[in-house]
Every structure is written in structure tokens, then in C-alpha cells.
Amino acid sequence: MADHYDIAVVGAGPAGGNAALAAAQAGLRVALLDEQPTPGGQVWRDKSASILSAPVTPESRAGAALRKAIETSAVTPLSQIRVWDIRLRDDHWVLQAQRAATSQEITSKSLILATGAREYVQPFPGWTTPGVIGLAGATALFKQSLTLPGKRTVVSGTGPLVFYVASEIRRLGGEVAAVVTPNTRSQWARALPDMLGQPKLLARGALWVADLMLARVPILWGHAVAQVDGAEQVTALKVRNLRTGTDGPDIAADSLCIGHGLIPNIEAAQILGVAVRHDPSLGGWVPDAAPDGATAIKGLYLCGDGCGIRGATAAGLQGSLTGARAARDLGRDAPTSPLARWHKADRFGRAMTALSLPTPALEALTTRDTIICRCESLRCTDIIDEVATGAASTNAVKSGRRAGMGPCGGKYCQSAIATLIAAQTGKSLADVPPPTPRPPLRPVPLGQAAGAFEYDALPISKPAPL
Amino acid sequence: MTHTPTYDIAIIGGGIMGCATALRVAEGGMSAIVLDKDDLGQGASGVNAGTLSLQIKRVKLMPYALRGHHLWEQMGDAVGFAKTGGYTLAFNAREAEMLQERQTLKAQAGAPIEFVSNNALRAAEPHLTQKVEAASFCPEDGYANSSLTGQYYRGRLRDAGIAYREGCKVTDIGHSAGFLLTTTTGQIRASRVLLAAGAWLKPLAALLDVDLPVNARVNTVSVTERIPTLMGSVIGHATGLLTMKQKANGTVLIGGGWQGLGTPQDGRGTVNADAVKPNLALAQYAVPALAKARVTRSWTGFEANVPDFYPLAGALPGVPDAYVLGCVRGGYTIGPYIGQLMGDFILGRDPELPLFDPGRDFTKDTT
Ligand SMILES: Cc1cc2nc3c(=O)[nH]c(=O)nc-3n(C[C@H](O)[C@H](O)[C@H](O)COP(=O)(O)OP(=O)(O)OC[C@H]3O[C@@H](n4cnc5c(N)ncnc54)[C@H](O)[C@@H]3O)c2cc1C
Ligand SMILES: Cc1cc2nc3c(=O)[nH]c(=O)nc-3n(C[C@H](O)[C@H](O)[C@H](O)COP(=O)(O)OP(=O)(O)OC[C@H]3O[C@@H](n4cnc5c(N)ncnc54)[C@H](O)[C@@H]3O)c2cc1C
């Protein structure tokens, strides 16, 4: 069969890219699938053709190196291909994929999922106003097209990304009105010991902050954006001191970049039967996988942020370990690398993830009128009312209110909904699992899912008993 | 807690069968508790296609389905009820012949089914394919929103003062002077039990040493994003392998009993793309413009049956004061009504229509 491989890798970020390289080095036929135009994933996203002359950054350099390595390897990169379903048929994996207007099946002996993460924003009044974009989403804009979010931007959120985004906006010539972060300086100080293992990353972070301070950009520690004003477009923001609960003066801005950490994309692993557990230091619900990617299911491996938010360095290292492990399991020679470097990166990653998690003070900014589920226009009160009538699980709230039944499939609202259920029922978040995951992994046009067919060849069975 | 709560009846399974029966026995004065291992209405009753169609009901179940339809109409908006009428289509001569034969028998059984001309069909449903060979119509057909089953019955049970427990799996049933149920949330005593555990009936009845020949099918349903109106009524296929309707919110729900994977014992079942594809192909064949609509989700649910495909509804053989209700084909449609019959039977009243003896010989057709 033309589309049969030894290993299919879904996701061509640092994790999937390196996994594919390691497996191909061991002599296997490897397909590397991603819906983006070129490998690189979220963090090493490629520039679009219009900005090829843009200056290099550490991300663009790392991305270029990965793309070069893939180009010169035996890996078959399949780009702009969207995987919408995966299952085990007999003894091989079958991937249903959509590419432009066509659909195809790809099969493989082993499967590596490196599906990365998505961004979380804790809902607050006005967060759906045009001009508000995600922090991580903003980095994608910079990398791909050097586009700025607006003329005068407030950058807000948890973890390190807020400083990266603010300094990138400045580097690209934009104005940062203020940096607003719920984290305090003492939280950062407490994370320092875990960060010392990655001095390069630490130094880069320090440079971002130094740049902002030199440019006299106000950095409001322990603060959060409590409200966005503006009907058609952001006009101003209200900023709240999370310790005292007092609001500062409004800040005029036409845009806001905001984010509160990342959530692993676990749906594909879940559908395939990998058990999940709640681990806040890894970003919430994560599937069980070993440092070398192995899972309880034969021939199925997981690596990168999709099995816990640890960042790009850990993702790349785990990718290499996983590709080698998968190759060994298929009877090939592949080196077993020591785990020490990965453990260091893991420690750093967990510390950053812990800093990025939304706190109760941040969750309290979600007012009763705040939109929670954008697809279905559901407000916080709708969810609270449903829980009050006895719906005590994400599945029950989804059934009763369509919360998460829209095109995003709950990818963006489920964490906020689980938090509301937990708060109201007194359960811990670990007792409020995500709703049953279902395909397609991405919405797919019906005609493409159906594929080409002849009516007379459809497997029409005999009708039900009369 | 030393005190074990005690009820006149414990109903195991909070699907449509268990909940509908609970409401009836409580009306008759019994104290009842409904127990479900998950949330109410997350089994077949909460994930089914919601089709209320007389055209796909079994001939002998038609009187039950007709009465079920009336109950759904009364439940109205709270369950997303819509009486749209429904068309069943045949695309070739063989299917047309089958449609003629089957719908004639169903019409004789009391369903107001008529055959319609191509022109009438096209006027009513302009987006249908031109390739229809024959079509039947039933004005009584429509749908309800099965997602609302849990929400709806939670409210009804609460209003009726009926206890219920979610996340409460029955793991053992002791039997001497009433029943002592061991569950994942403690023990419960009851003078009677009703087994209404859907596709999980076999292991449940085994706790009382009764072997029920229950099998489970893994039915699949898919839904699209919201799209402009492409159909106004329920659209079915002569074989039953397609049922489809567009909801008021613009989403199109596509079912037809295509088989997924898994068993009731290991989770909620998984979708099999190899079965979803022909199901979607059939939908697209019927309404070509659907090709561009994006499918947002496919899912599965377990539908229980016994070898003769008639309900289990009556006394559990060999165990006094134990009852069973389940395995009803078209059970979403018929559930609210057959639950009332079951409740009457438990209350010692004469049910309006006969029940289906769970102790029968399943190798023969029942009459
Ligand atoms: C929008 C965004 C921007 C980020 N920017 C930064 C940054 O600037 N700096 C930083 O340190 N960290 C950033 N992060 C964090 C970053 O995700 C990780 O540090 C790192 O990229 C993890 O690598 P990975 O290989 O595990 O996943 P990713 O790099 O996320 O790669 C996963 C890939 O899988 C593909 N994929 C997933 N599902 C499917 C499917 N069904 N079909 C086809 N393809 C699929 C995606 O298109 C993606 O390219 C960002 C995260 C996000 C979500
Ligand atoms: C996908 C699908 C589509 C369908 N489409 C239609 C349709 O369009 N029209 C129609 O009329 N019918 C349809 N049906 C059939 C209909 O849904 C069923 O006949 C009906 O819902 C069965 O109801 P029930 O209460 O017997 O079972 P369920 O709703 O499955 O309820 C059984 C309950 O018992 C609980 N339970 C099991 N074991 C235990 C235990 N040990 N302790 C505690 N609780 C337990 C389960 O959690 C479950 O909630 C469809 C079925 C499926 C699966």
C-alpha cells in the first residue's frame, strides 16, 4: 500500500519532529503529519513567504535547523494534512486525514502522537471583545507574519510567555502600555531553584524583563486585567490588584494579549484508550506516558506538550527518546540516551507550568455575566444554573446546555466549566474529568469524511426486523 | 452512618425506562429511589438520535409507539420536541418494493403513513436528491433532543419528591425479606427492585442469579455544525440505515444504527470511521448539499436487545418482587409510555396494553 509506513507521527513540533528523525535514523519509514504548511510546531513556526528577510530569532533558528534536518533525512513530511480520526484496525493504525479538498487513509505499524498544546484564557468581562488575542496566539502572529496585535497593547497573563510577548512587541516596533501579571516577584523567586538547571532559558527571560524595565514599561506584578471596555474594539482596560482587590486607573489601549497557561491536547490519546490523570504541574489532565513516550497500549507513543506542558526543550528531548524507543520496539537498533537532560528540562517545565496556572483569585474575575462558551454564547450564570439543578459532571452540563458542543468541541471552555462545577459542588478538580472525547479531532467537511463512493457499493445490510 | 435508607422500590438504571417507571410508581404512592452508575440520562437515553418516527417502529410495537408520541408531544419544549413529519426514501426498485411492503403493514398497524409522489416530495424538501424512486410520509413523525433526557428527568424526579443517586453503581444485591443493595455509595434497602440497566442488564441480573440473554449493539450518531436550512422534516432510508433531521439551531443529526466498537463493560464505546463513512455517504446521497457541512462530532451508545428483538417488560423470572424493563426497540420513543405500563404492573394494576414476559422462550416470536 502506498500510504503505509512503519511509524506515523502526528504533530511536527519539536517533539514530533525529533521523534520522526530518531526513528528514521534507525532505518524506519516514517511519515510526519501536520496541519501547518511546514514543520516547526507552535514554538518554531515558520515565517510566511512575505517576511523571509525578517531578522533571525532563537525560535526561527531552531525551527530552521529542524526543517533542514527533516529535509535531509529519510522522513516523509506530510504538511497541511489534518488528522481527524485514528484507530487500530487489526494490527495497524489507521489515520483518517484531510488534505485540501481530498481525503486519504494513512496506515502505520506504530503511532507517535505529538499533538502539542492549546492556550487557556480564564474568562473575564470583555474577554471576547475584538482586539483581545491570546498570548500564545500573538507569538504565532509575530513568527508567521511579523504582525502586531495593535498600536498600543497591554500584555497580560501568567508564566514567562507574558515577558516574551511584551519584548517581542517592542522589538517589532509596537508600544506596550503595560505588562500585567498575576504572578508576584516572590513566586518567581521561589521558582528560581528549578530554573537554574536551564541557565540559557533563564538568561533569556532575564533579558526580556531587563529590556522592559529599561524602556520604563510598567510591570504590574500581582495584578490582573479585570475588565475590557469597548464595543467594537478594545478602548481601555481595568486592572485589579489581586491581593487587595482594588482597581487601578483605567489603561487606554487598543489591544490586549492575554493568556493563562497551556492545556495539553490529549483528545487523540484519550480516544485511543490511554488513561488520563489530573496533574496541575503539567497543565491539567494528562495521559499516562513514560519519559520515552511508551504507553500502556502496544505501538502507541506520546511525547511533547501533548502529554504534559514542559516546554520546547523538554518536548524536543522527549521526541528523540520516543522515536528511538518506538524504533527499538520494532526491532531496530537505536541508542538509549540517558534521561538526565530530560529530567532537568522536565523540572524547569513544571516550574513554568506551575507559575502559569490560573489561581482562585484569577478565577474570581469570571463574573456571572461573563461568556464562558463562545461557540454557544453561554454565560457563567448558564453553567451555574445547570449545576444548581443537579448536573454535577462536564458530560451532564454539556448535555443540558450544549456547553462545548460547538465547532471547538469544548477545547477552549472545558477547563473553565470544570472549575465552575468543582467550585459549586465542592469537588476537587481531579474529580471533574473532561467530557467523553469523540472524533473528529478537527471538524471535517461531511463530503470529505464520507470520501468518494458509489451508491451501489455502500454496505447496505438487511433491514431491521419488521 | 448506621441507618440504611429503605424504600418501597429501588430502580437500578436512570435512563428513560427507569425514570419513567419511577414517576408512575411514585404517583401510585410508593417511595422510590433511582440509582445510576453515571449521571442520569448518560446511557442510550441521553445519546440516541432522538428520532420519534412511527415509520421505523416494529409493527407489533406500533400501539406503544403511537401512545409514546402523544407523551412526547405533551413534554414539549422541555425535551426539544418537534413534530415535523417524516419522509422515508427508496433509491432503487428493490428498496421501493421493500418500502411498499413494510410501510403498508405499519399503516395497517395504525401509523398514518401514506406514499407520496415525487412532485409532492420535491415541493416539501427541495434539497433532496433527484434520485428518489419512492417515498412514504408520516405526519406524526418528528424528534426530541435526547441530550436533555438527564436534565429533564432530574427535574421531574425532584418535583415528584423521588430520591436519586448519581455515580452510584449497584455491585451486589442480597435477597431475603426484601432486597439489600450494595452500591459504590453505600447500602440501600428496598422491598422491590426494578432492573432498568439498559445494555448492562445481563451482569445486573446475574447478581440475582438470573441469566438474561441480552446483547448490545453499538449505534453511531454524527452531527454537523450549524448550517442554513437544508431539510424541514425527518429524513429516513427504507432500510433504516439513515435517519436525519436538522434541528432548530441549524445542526444536522445523522444516525441509522451503524456499528461502532467496544462493549458496555469497557466504557462508552468508540466510533468506527469505517462505519461512519458509509453513514455520511448515505446522508450526502439523500441531500447532496450536505457535502460541505462540517461534521463536528460522532459518538456511540449501547442499545440492548434480546434474540427476538421484543422488550423485556415484567417480572424477573424466579425472583419475587423483582422486575425488569429494557431492550425496547425504538426505546426512546416508547420509553415514557412503557414506563407507565411497567409502573402500573408493579403497583398491581392492570396495564392498558400487555407487557412482554421476560421469562418467555426467546427463540419463538412473541404474540
Ligand atoms: C499558539 C502557541 C504558541 C506558542 N508559542 C511559544 C513560544 O513562542 N515560545 C515557547 O517557549 N513556547 C511556546 N508555546 C508552547 C509550545 O507549545 C511548546 O513549548 C512546544 O511547542 C511544544 O512542542 P510540541 O512538539 O510538544 O508541540 P507543538 O509545537 O505544539 O506541535 C504540535 C503540532 O501538532 C499539530 N497537530 C496537532 N493535532 C493535529 C492533527 N489532528 N492533525 C494534524 N496536525 C496536528 C499542530 O499543528 C502542531 O504543529 C506556544 C504554544 C502555543 C499553543
Ligand atoms: C446511538 C443510539 C441511537 C438511538 N436512536 C434512537 C432513536 O432515534 N429513536 C428511538 O426511539 N430510540 C433510539 N435508540 C434506542 C433508545 O435510545 C433506547 O432504547 C433507550 O434509551 C433505552 O433506555 P434504557 O433506560 O433502557 O437504557 P439506558 O438509557 O442505557 O439506561 C440504563 C442506565 O443504567 C445504568 N446502569 C447500568 N448498570 C448499572 C448498575 N450496575 N448500577 C447502577 N446503574 C447502572 C446506566 O448507567 C444507564 O444510565 C437509540 C439508541 C442508541 C444507542
Tens-place pLDDT, residues B228-240: 999 999 999 999 9
Q: Is A171 on the interface with B (CB under 8 A)?
A: no
Q: Which ligand is nearest to the CA of A97?
A: 1
Nearest to B252 by CA among B267, B272, B232, B269: B232
Residue B223: its chain A contacts at CB < 8 A?
A: 405
CATH number at residue A425: 1.10.10
Residue A34 to residue A119: CA distance in whole angstroms? 18
Please answer whether residues A440 and A84 qualify as being in contact, where contact means their C-beta atoms are separated by less than 8 angstroms. yes
> What is the total count of domains within chain A?
3
Q: What is the ipTM of this complex?
A: 0.94
Contacts with B104 from chain A: Cβ below 8 Å: none
Contact (CB<8Å) A463/B102: yes
Q: What residue's CA is closest to ligand 1, atom 12?
A: A43
CATH number for the domain spanning B233: value is 3.30.9.10
Task: List chain A residues with CB under 8 Å of B150.
Answer: 391, 396, 399-400
Residue type, B271: V
- Distance, in Å, from the CA atom of B175 to the CA atom of B325, rounded to the nearest integer, reads 19
**What residue type is assigned to position B298 of the chain?**
S
How remote is the CA of residue B171 from the centroid of ligand 2, in Å?
Answer: 19
Which residue in this structure is represented by grid cell 404512592?
Answer: B29
Which alpha helices (H) appear in A119-198, and where do they start and end?
135-145, 161-171, 185-195
Search chain B and give the residue with CA nearest A453.
B281
CA of B15 to the centre of ligand 2 (A): 6
Residue A1 has a pLDDT of 43
Domain end call among A236, A260, A284: A260
DSSP β-ladder status, A152-157 and A255-259: parallel
Domain housing B324: 6-44+147-212+308-346
pLDDT greater than 80 at residue B366:
no
Report chain B residues whose CB lies below 8 A from the CB of A386.
151
Specify whether A270 is located in the same domain as A234. no
Number of domains in chain B: 2
Q: Which residue out of A35, A43, A438 has the highest number of ligand 1 atoms within 8 Å of its CB and is therefore the one to mutate? A: A43
Indicate whether this model's pTM tops 0.90: yes
Residue that is last in its domain, among A260, A285, A306? A260
Whether residues A446 and B282 touch (CB distance < 8 A) is answered with no
Order of strands, sheet of A251-252, starting from the edge strand that comes earlier in the sequence: A223-229, A236-241, A251-252
Whether residue A196 lies inside any domain: the answer is yes
Based on the domain organization, do B158 and B293 belong to the same domain? no
Q: Do both A148 and A192 map to the same domain? A: yes
Q: How far is CA A254 from CA A183, A235, B358, in A?
A: 24, 5, 70
Considering chain B, what is the average pLDDT of its residues?
96
| Shared domain check, A129 and A218 | yes
pLDDT in tens, chain A (466 residues): 458 999 999 999 999 999 999 999 999 999 999 999 999 999 888 877 777 777 788 888 999 999 999 999 999 999 999 999 999 999 999 999 999 888 899 999 999 999 999 999 999 999 999 999 999 999 999 888 888 999 999 999 999 999 999 999 999 999 999 999 999 999 999 999 999 988 999 999 999 999 999 999 999 999 999 999 999 999 999 999 999 999 988 999 999 999 999 999 999 999 999 999 999 999 999 999 999 999 999 999 999 999 999 999 999 999 999 999 999 999 999 988 889 999 999 999 999 999 999 999 999 999 999 999 999 999 999 999 999 999 999 999 999 999 999 988 898 899 999 999 999 999 999 999 999 999 999 999 999 999 999 999 999 888 888 8
Q: Going by C-beta distance under 8 Å and a sequence separation of 6 or more, which residues neighbour residue A134?
A: A119, A121, A257, A258, A259
Check A440 against B295: CB less than 8 A apart.
yes
Atom of ligand 2 nearest to the CA of B170: 42
Domain containing A273: what range? Answer: 3-117+263-352
Q: Which residue from A271, A449, A461 is facing B277, i.e. has the nearest CB?
A: A449
How close A319 gets to chain B, by Cα (Å)?
Answer: 28
CATH of the domain at A78: 3.50.50.60
**Domain annotation covers residue A445:** no
Kindly state whether residues A276 and A199 are assigned to the same domain. no
Distance B7 CA to ligand 1 centre (A): 55
Residue B313 has pLDDT above 90, yes or no: yes
- Farthest CA pair distance, chain A: 81
101-140 of A, contacting B, C-beta below 8 A: none
Q: Do B257 and A459 touch (CB under 8 A)?
A: no
Residues A60, A93 within the same domain? yes
Residue among B131, B270, B285 with most chain A CBs within 10 A, to mutate: B270
Are B158 and B261 within one domain? no
Q: Among B199, B213, B196, which residue's Cα sits nearest to residue B362?
A: B213
- Segment B76-93 mean pLDDT: 98
**Residues B299, B243: one domain?**
yes
Using CA coordinates, name the residue in chain B closest to A442.
B296
Q: How far is the CA of A103 from the centre of ligand 2 (A)?
A: 34
Ligand positioned closest to the Cα atom of B332 = 2
Can you spell out the DSSP letters for A234-296? Answer: --EEEEEETTT--B---EE-SEEEEE--EEE--HHHHHTT--EEEEGGGTEEEE---TT-B-S
Which CATH number do you get for residue B165?
3.50.50.60
**Element holding A339 (H helix, E strand):** none
